[in-house]
Amino acid sequence: MYFAHDSAVIDSGAQIGNGTKIWHFCHIMPGAVIGNNCSLGQNVFVANGVKLGNKVKVQNNVSIYEGVICEDDVFLGPSMVFTNVINPRSAVNRKTEYLPTIVKKGATIGANATIVCGVTIGEYAFIGAGAVVTKDVPSFALVVGNPARQIGWMSRHGERLHFDDSGQATCPGSGEQYVLKEGRPELVTTVDISEK
């Protein structure tokens, strides 16, 4: 069972998981698949073919277009933007040219960020507010700016990681331990971050 505000439009055929909350003026198309315990804020649009995993949080004024897949625990900030065609023209029908965009487990996309279609955002990556993402983002990467560039690493808990000379870091929020392997963070010890 899920909750939908009276002003929401949910087309027949949409699949919505238990515990999900859909708020004011949302529109869910018939081919959308939304997991359990998601939250869709005011004025959210979810197109045909979109897949949202469990516990995805979509803030106000976000449109999720065909070709987008968000895995579990993804956070989509207010008014962030997805695209699905690389070279749109009003007079040219390119509905067969949608490029897939994949947002992996635990990733955060900040307010007003733009995600150009055809990219993969890695697990627990953190896209800063207003960033314009034009290429793949590694897991745990912190990217900002236009075009987005990597300026550091983030923990699963959403804290900046500072690696010492031996390539080790501790998340200040959760206490989880990370080590750099081949230039990428790898989690060494885990805790239940939902309890932190």
* 69-118 per-position pLDDT tens digit: 999 999 999 999 999 999 999 999 999 999 999 999 999 999 999 999 99
52 closest CA partner among 105, 96, 126, 108 = 105
Tell me: pLDDT of 192 over 90: no
In angstroms, rounded to a whole number, what is the distance separating the alpha carbons of residues 86 and 8?
A: 30
Residue 42: CB partners within 8 Å, gap ≥ 6?
23, 24, 25, 26, 60, 61
> At residue 24, does pLDDT exceed 80?
yes
Mean pLDDT of 137-141: 98
Phi-psi label, residue 177: left if phi above 0, alpha if psi -120 to 50, beta otherwise = beta
User: For 40-66, what is the mean pLDDT?
Assistant: 98
Question: How confident is the model at residue 190, as a pLDDT?
Answer: 82
- pLDDT score recorded for residue 196: 55
Say what the pTM is: 0.96
The domains located in the chain, with CATH, are 3-156 (2.160.10.10), 157-196 (2.20.70)
Supply the DSSP symbol for 174. Answer: T
Nearest-10 Cα torsion for 9, 11, 17, 22: -10
* DSSP assignment of 135-161: S-B-TTEEEETTTTEEEEEE-TTS-EE
- pLDDT over 90 for what percent of the chain? 96
